[in-house]
Structure 1
Amino acid sequence: MLSVKIDEAEVKELCRQRITDLVKEVEGELVFWDAAELKKRTCMSWNSIQEHFFFDPRFPKHKVGGKWYFSARETRTFLEQWLRERPCAL
């Protein structure tokens, strides 16, 4: 008879590490976002973005010609901080 024992904690940790590696790999693909990518990443409309954080002086944005660009890394950091600053609705 064959018996197999699996350390669930170790399997979960291996999965978490692999997911983290894949996320870093995907995030590293884009250096900057355009407005369409910003809307996609935030799940917000352009009007909502402008209403909630676009004009925040801390929000990193650059206009090149007639198009807005956003540093992927800086924007993600800003958005995570911005979200933590929002009051929780109960």
Structure 2
Amino acid sequence: MKKAVAIILHFRVNEEEVNEVIKKQVEETLSKLNTDLVVWDSKELKRRVSMSWSTIQSTFFYEEDFPKVKIGGKWYYPAKETEEFLSRWFKHQMGA
């Protein structure tokens, strides 16, 4: 007859350390996502700012320092410069 063996395991988790590891992983993933694209098209711009095309046009699209270039019939936006512009523009909208 076989004997039953009971094993009890106790784990202690350092929540601060777990949160720090998760935060670091999220930041690395977001950093990779942001560097994947050199330029955005209008669809990507709309997705990134969560605005409709008409709202984009009526708010910041025609501002002189908004980086854009039209190639053929399509608008393109350099990713890094556009992100920097949007950061400044949103801060300005918040009154910062």
Q: CA deviation at 1:2?
A: 3.6
Give 2:36's match in structure 1, choosing from 26, 29, 52: 29
Give 1:19's match in structure 2, choosing from 16, 26, 30: 26
- Structure 2 letter corresponding to 1:86: Q
Q: Partner residue of 1:67? A: 74
Aligned equivalents of 1:87, 1:30: Cα separation in 2: 27
| Percent of aligned pairs sharing the same letter | 40
Q: Partner residue of 2:48? A: 41
The structure having more radius of gyration, on CA atoms, is 2
Residue 50 in structure 1 maps to residue 29 in structure 2: no
Q: How many corresponding residue pairs?
A: 88
Give 2:16's match in structure 1, choosing from 1, 9, 32: 9
Q: Unmatched 5+ residue regions in structure 2?
A: 1-7
RMSD: 1.4
**TM-score, normalised by the number of residues in structure 1:** 0.87
Q: Unmatched 5+ residue regions in structure 1?
A: none
- Structure 1 letter corresponding to 2:21: L
My pick for the range that moved more, 32-41 or 12-21, is 32-41
Change (3 A) 1:29 1:87: closer
Give the ranges of 4+ consecutive aligned residues of structure 1 lying more than 4 Å apart after TM superposition: none
